[in-house]
């Protein structure tokens, strides 16, 4: 069994910052990538940022230059530093752990007020 637990969401004013954390534990044989996705009200689930075990990163165009993903491979943890937040960043942020199978966390709410 694999557990994926996010933390760090909350309410922040536009221009502010938040840092999300995600820790994976349990029977994980190997992790290829860890990342963050989000779902805003009325919108589709979308990729925010992903980092492979080798350190390669992918960012959504809308967050490039504002968000930074980082990983602690030894502890199966991934972080998302979000700066210069905008109201359109509001949504539920989900952590994804990609190994042989894909695992998801429960999500953490991020609300950016204007």
What digits encode the pLDDT tens for the residues 23-38?
999 877 788 999 999 9
Contact 51, 33 (CB under 8 A): yes
Contact 19, 103 (CB under 8 A): no
In this prediction, residue 1 carries a pLDDT of 80
In this prediction, residue 108 carries a pLDDT of 97
- Select from 19, 12, 48, 27 the least CA-distant residue to 103: 27
Which residues lie closer than 8 Å to 61 by C-beta, 6 or more apart?
none
Residue 9 has pLDDT above 90, yes or no: yes
In this prediction, residue 65 carries a pLDDT of 97
């Amino acid at each position: 069994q694999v557990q994926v637990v996010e933390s760090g969401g909350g309410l922040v004013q536009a221009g502010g910052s938040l840092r999300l954390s995600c820790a994976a534990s349990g029977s994980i044989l190997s992790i290829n990538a860890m990342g963050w996705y989000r779902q805003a009200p009325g919108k589709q689930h979308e990729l925010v940022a992903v980092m492979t075990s080798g350190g390669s990163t992918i960012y959504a165009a809308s967050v490039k230059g504002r968000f930074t993903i980082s990983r602690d491979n030894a502890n199966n943890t991934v972080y998302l530093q979000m700066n210069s937040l905008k109201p359109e960043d509001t949504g539920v942020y989900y952590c994804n752990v990609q190994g042989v199978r894909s695992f998801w966390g429960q999500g953490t709410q991020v609300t950016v007020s204007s």
